Chains A and B, each alone.
Chain A
Amino acid sequence: MLKYIVKRLIIALITIFAVATLTFFLMNAVPGGPFQAEKSISAQARANLDAKYGLDKPLFQRYLTYMNDALHGDFSESLKQRGRSVISIITTKFPVSARVGGMAVLLSLIIGVPLGCIAALNRGKALDNVIIVLATCGIAIPGFVICTLLLYFIGAKLQWLPTYGLSSWKHYIMPVISIAVYPTAYITRLMRSSMLDVLGQDYMRTARAKGLSQSVSLFKHALRNAVIPVVTYVGPMLAYTITGSMIVEKIFTIPGLGSEFVSSALNRDYTVIMGTTIFLATLMVLVNVLVDIVYTIIDPRIKLK
């Protein structure tokens, strides 16, 4: 087990290195640069800026410099947000996104798993159909539509909930719901299909033949077997969700990390692009290792080697 984790972490480092390299060259392949859009800057000033941030040097040399600095923990400063280091951007904005996203993941699990089970147990009946239709809607309706509808009706028309910022628990409700809709719907569908599969297994018949009540056979015997596909999905989903969603953050004016991903790419803020990408890649590989460990806890047949 420990050997496996060490092995996986080494692979993780290689993955992160590959992601960083790829991102570095891809982002430099895109036309434009951090200081080219601003018309007011004279040619001399731009040349000075490029020289200050080392952008005048050959690409490969810049790559080596960046990687060397990054290995030493220096992710340098943002090119556009003057005076802010990339690390400080991530450390101040990530917790905000993580809080909102984490709550959304929790909510989607709390609602999605039972809803999927209920649908499976009532297969073919009216309740099942209602849940399937709702789940399909949840998957089909884009996040910005949900945000806008919530904002318009609950925020503006009814004035039940505040529409921007994160200053009280009430502020969290609408963004969390907006983010949670899609994963909830997805988990419901996953849970339903895997539960249906499990309910048809021979060991469920054995459980009934033992005289166990439906709830015991469901919670003890079915759930643990049926939850594995959900774990597979929730892992990467967690990484994406806690790093924030640009759309939700823009609509509800939340100072999270999600908008950084998009704005840095649009602004060619090279250092922030690199920093956020490496951060997401790191989270992703860690979450995947975690998912593998969770597998072995749930299903003893899965052995890590």
Chain B
Amino acid sequence: MSEYLVNIENERLSFFTPAGEVKALNGVSIHVGEGEVLGIVGESGSGKSVTAYSLMGLTAYPGRLIGGDLYFNGHHINEMTEKQMRKMRGNEVSIIFQDPMTSLNPVYTIGNQIREVILLHTDKTKKEAQERAIELLTLVGINEPKKRLKQYPHELSGGMRQRVMIAIALACEPKLLIADEPTTALDVTIQAQILELMMELKDKLGMAIIMITHDLGIVASTCERIAVMYAGNIVEYGTTDDIFYNPRHEYTKGLIRSIPRMDATEHTRLVPIEGTPVDMLNPPKGCKFASRCEKCMKICLTEMPPVTQFDEIHYTQCWLNQKAEMEEASPQSSGKEQAGSPAEPEQDPQIAEGGAANE
């Protein structure tokens, strides 16, 4: 499994609240190669952020990992102590949060907050850390870095603060950058700038990115692979082309239908996905999307659909596809298709190659 930088196998994670167990992740598998960009899309509460946070050991109380294996850069996350994890955070893996307005500590200068992470993870002296901080601010496109370092977060605009957050994240040249809705709180022009900057830095520094978002426009323009999550499951996974041109899960189709189109006439209405997200405390028995699915069948309400694999990368978890598969294929091979999971080791090199070719 070592070819992958990030290798999450069948992760299950629950929040043990007073009201009961909330199963936030039900067997999520994610693989990211070095320098690859993976997008995780889904609505609020689908488990996008939880997946990424657990990789850094940042699962919020009362959440607990209850199954699966997480590997990152050769570390087996499950077995790491808090101390080992601390060495990894901000160093090998960094994160950018959604809201730059509140993610920086208001009572310390920008410089203090950037130098802090450099001093923590490297042997640099204070002076060297200062130089590095200037270098970083220049890298993320902030002018007059020396002056900025002495300023406090409230003296900077939202876009600037997000650039500072990126500078902090990149301070130790991480192998993986997790971007948790990095542009949601920014206005559209700044969004584009920040995304462009991230992609530029990715190429420059060769890091991998996990882009968590609910904006399909962002994943379309930045990601090579996309995982669509719904209620704690990856319902569809594939290359960007697979997801946008050949979506196989009804939820993915719904998401794509709901994007406003440039060529639409004035009176075309947006197409929403009807219904509300599932109650994670009492999830339905079968497919979690069944209650909102237009093509729901009997079996969808009682049994969780198995994985349908279309090629080495593209797969979905939906009975509709299973049905199609079964009709197409002979009975012997359909069994094999079901068993095929995206995590089969022998497929790894091909996936890595596929990712590279896509770029």
Q: Taking CB as reference atom, which chain B residue is nearest A203?
A: B105
**Which one of A26-34, A81-89, A204-212, A283-291 is at the interface?**
A204-212
On whether A208 and B105 interact (CB within 8 A), knowing A202-B97, A301-B152, A301-B154, the answer reads no
Does B5 sit within 8 A of A, measured CB to CB? no
A-B contact pairs, 10 of them (CB 8 A): A205-B97, A206-B105, A209-B56, A209-B89, A209-B95, A209-B97, A300-B106, A300-B107, A300-B152, A300-B154
Chain B residues with CB under 8 A of A221: 105, 108
Determine whether A127 belongs to the interface, using a CB cutoff of 8 Å to chain B. Answer: no
**What is the CB-to-nearest-CB distance from A293 to chain B, in angstroms, rounded to a whole number?**
16
Which residue of chain B lies nearest to A200 when distances are taken between CB atoms in the complex? B60
Judging by beta carbons under 8 Å apart, are B106 and A209 in contact?
no
- Contact at A208–B106, with CB atoms within 8 Å? no
Query: Complex Cα distance A206/B108, Å?
Result: 13
- The contact of A212 among B56, B86, B94, B97, by CB within 8 Å, is B86
Expressed in whole angstroms, the minimum distance between the Cβ of A20 and any Cβ of chain B is 39
Q: Which of B90, B106, B120 contacts A299 (CB 8 A)?
A: B106
What are the residues of chain B within 8 A of A225 when measuring CB–CB?
Answer: 105-107
Most buried by B among A210, A212, A213, A301: A210
Contacts of B121 in A (CB 8 A): 211
Interchain pairs with CB closer than 8 A, number: 67
**Nearest CB of A to B91, in Å:** 6
Q: Classify chain B: how many residues form its interface, as a range.
A: 20 to 34
Whether the pair A206, B103 counts as a contact (CB closer than 8 A) is yes
Q: In the complex, which residues of chain B have a beta carbon less than 8 angstroms from the beta carbon of A209?
A: 56, 58, 89-90, 94-95, 97
The answer to the question of B50 belonging to the interface, with a C-beta cut-off of 8 Å to chain A, is no
Complex CA–CA separation, A299 to B152 (angstroms): 10
20 extra interchain contacts, Cβ-Cβ under 8 A, other than A203-B102, A206-B104, A211-B90? A201-B102, A202-B97, A202-B99, A202-B102, A202-B103, A206-B165, A207-B105, A208-B58, A209-B58, A209-B97, A210-B117, A211-B120, A212-B86, A221-B105, A221-B108, A298-B107, A299-B106, A299-B107, A301-B107, A301-B152
Q: Does B337 touch A at the CB level, under 8 Å?
A: no
Total residues of chain A contacting the partner, CB 8 A: 20
Query: Does any Cβ of A come within 8 Å of B87's Cβ?
Result: yes
Q: B residues within 8 A CB of A224?
A: 107
User: Does B88 touch A at the CB level, under 8 Å?
Assistant: yes
Nearest A-chain residue to B18, judged by Cβ: A124
- Closest Cβ of chain A to B339, distance in Å, is 38
Q: Are B102 and A301 in contact, CB atoms less than 8 angstroms apart?
A: no
Contact present for B89 and A206 (CB under 8 Å): no
* Smallest beta-carbon distance A80→chain B, Å: 52
**Could you tell me the distance between the alpha carbons of A220 and B107 in the complex, rounded to whole angstroms?**
10
Q: Give 1 or 0 for each of A162-196: 1 = CB within 8 Å of chain B CB.
A: 00000000000000000000000000000000000
Q: Given the complex, which residues of B lie within 8 Å of A208, measured CB to CB?
A: 58, 89
Contact status B107-A212, CB under 8 Å: no
Docked-complex contact B106 and A211, CB < 8 angstroms: no
Chain A residue at minimum C-beta to C-beta distance from B117: A210
- The complex places the Cα of A145 from the Cα of B102 at a distance, in Å, of 46
Q: Which residue of A lies closest to B152 (CB)?
A: A300
A203 engages B106 (CB within 8 Å): yes
Interface string of B67-96 (1 = CB under 8 A from A): 000000000000000000011111100110
| Least distance between B111 CB and chain A CB atoms (Å) | 13
B55, chain A: closest CB distance, angstroms = 11
Lowest 9 A-B CB distances belong to which pairs?
A211-B89, A211-B90, A210-B90, A202-B102, A203-B105, A211-B86, A202-B103, A210-B117, A300-B152
- How far does the alpha carbon of A220 sit from the alpha carbon of B56 in the complex, in Å? 22
Residue of A nearest to B155 (CB): A300
Cβ of B37 under 8 Å from chain A: no
| A221–B86 CA distance with the chains assembled, in angstroms | 16
Give every chain B residue within 8 A of A213 (Cβ-Cβ): 86
Q: Which of A205, A212, A298, A300 contacts B58 (CB 8 A)?
A: A205
